[in-house]
A and B are shown apart, each in its own frame.
Chain A
């Protein structure tokens, strides 16, 4: 399930981008060190394959989910985790651009949710240990199903966290989780079976692809369980830090309270560090009809550079509505004007 821009706050979006960019940089570097040149076109064409296969996909009714083939796992098994991650990231990028699946800010989240979990968690921690040396088709199938299931629980869980931390949705954590996880259990099962089926098909038709993949995947043994765990602890600490910083500064954070709607937020707490700046931005713009909860601004936040913000009177709802209608009208007129100018 793709995270969407509209549900995202800048802080969460940026944090997830940072995480994904780090993972991308790391994978590129790892790959560059000892890549078989043949991998370069193979990875690219594999991305196109995943893309095409996702287009054939059956949609799972009633969820609004596009029910993707869990491309990440197939890729990881064939290409190894680093290459698979890069391919997944490129698939998601193209999807964000061509299908507007998610969006550009949410791309960081989506790369994380759908790339990192299958490639760097499910594959090394679950698939490899269960599948073993890849001689037993049954073990490979079981490994594929379980690892896809796990990856598809982690992904939606992240979506829930990202949405709630962004504070744009009112859904309580528990409801959201109860809604997302079981659905993805079902989706994961279907995808797991498909993934296992495809791997099995390949194993039967061209066993050398999976066997010789040692040549394809020089880095396969490079991931140790301990490394992965350490990596995730670090990432968790960083994101935890970033998010708690953000939650403490962002008025729309995890804790939404009535006071905020009625405008009695305790500004005093937030007058330190980068918080005031963020707050100022928010204050300048917060507008809820008849809730003139924009606190009076004391002093000029911008120390010297540029003119001071124009001081804003409390917006009245009528002005808001009239103004919005006018703005929309103007924008439309501009559009029509450009169009008719072009037609001539």
Chain B
């Protein structure tokens, strides 16, 4: 991915997070905690589990649709980060050759199951993590962290990082465009050029930090970042949490897919 694409990508994700829908309006703490529980539940399945994972798709699908997030965008981002997990998982079918009969006449090595399980878990965890930020503005996440009790020094790091991410990314984009414009096709991407660009960016950053510090001083900063807005838990938040936790519990400890399958078989 080129720099521009990558930049517009986060920019887009960021923009999505400022929409006004039911999930966007939920308390960030609630979304953070339910997402963590969700991830935990998914990851806690043993390595060969496949069938029991499917019901969990309900959560990301609901976030996606209610939050009005474009599906393709999320899928693309998931695909982008997949290489490592896929790479590690792809060896399982080779290394775990115990044969398993799925249906009469269809035999697969057990490794395929663990591989599929990794892929499913990957899809679930990554899409849900992305949906968390697509439905909760980053400052919202930070407010939540602060209210949960994360040290304010760390939270203020996150806030500054978020604030200046876009400023600096735009600055580096300008530098890179200038470089590409002057390197006439011979892509000036060698280490030497890279070092100079990074060095220049670094110095500008130091100077910027100085000016930001002056701005903060001018507005009464004396070492403590002021507390942020407090969110209040509403009935909708409670209902959301309760239903998500109920579903997670059900999906985790009760074989929903299997039961449904048995039920369907019973019908025919």
Contact = CB atoms under 8 A, between A and B. Distances in A.
A31 to B, nearest CB: 6
Given A2-B84, A198-B199, A288-B100, A281 B65 contact: no
18 contacts: A2-B84, A47-B161, A51-B169, A56-B3, A69-B198, A87-B161, A90-B158, A97-B138, A98-B10, A100-B126, A170-B91, A194-B191, A201-B202, A287-B49, A310-B254, A319-B258, A323-B54, A327-B260
Contact of B199 (A32, A205, A335): A205
A261 B110 contact: yes
Given A6-B125, A52-B168, A334-B62, A285 B216 contact: no
A143 B3 CA distance: 30
B36 interface: yes
Looking at chain A's contact residues, the main secondary structure is helix
B100 to A, nearest CB: 6
Given A42-B206, A64-B83, A47 B39 contact: no
A151 interface: no
A315 interface: yes
B184 interface: no
A55 B173 CA distance: 10
B50 interface: yes
A201 B196 contact: yes
A304 to B, nearest CB: 17
B261 A342 contact: no
B221 A323 contact: no
Contacts of A326: 257, 260-261, 264
A324 B54 contact: yes
A154 interface: no
Contacts of A55: 3, 6-7, 169, 172
Interface in A189-225: 190, 193-194, 197-198, 201-202, 205-206, 209
B204 to A, nearest CB: 9
Contacts of B132: 97, 104
A40 interface: yes
A6 B81 CA distance: 12
B15 interface: no
Contact of B153 (A5, A31, A100): A31
In this complex, the interface size class of chain A, counting residues with CB under 8 Å from chain B, is 35 or more
Contacts of A43: 157, 160
Interface of A: 1-2, 4-10, 13, 24-25, 28, 31-32, 35, 37-38, 40-49, 51-53, 55-56, 58, 64-65, 69, 74, 86-87, 89-91, 93-94, 96-101, 103-105, 163, 167-172, 190, 193-194, 197-198, 201-202, 205-206, 209, 251-252, 256, 258, 261, 281-282, 284-291, 309-310, 312-313, 315-324, 326-328, 331-332, 334-335, 338-339, 342
B81 A99 contact: yes
B77 A100 contact: yes
B160 A41 contact: yes
A42 B65 contact: no
Contact of A338 (B66, B111, B159, B169): B66
A329 B205 CA distance: 51
A11 to B, nearest CB: 9
Given A6-B122, A105-B125, A198 B168 contact: no
Nearest to A45: B209
Contact of B213 (A5, A42, A58): A42
B265 A318 contact: yes
A47 B160 contact: yes
Nearest to B217: A37
Contacts of A193: 191
A93 B145 CA distance: 12
Closest 3 CB pairs of A and B: A44-B160, A323-B261, A201-B199
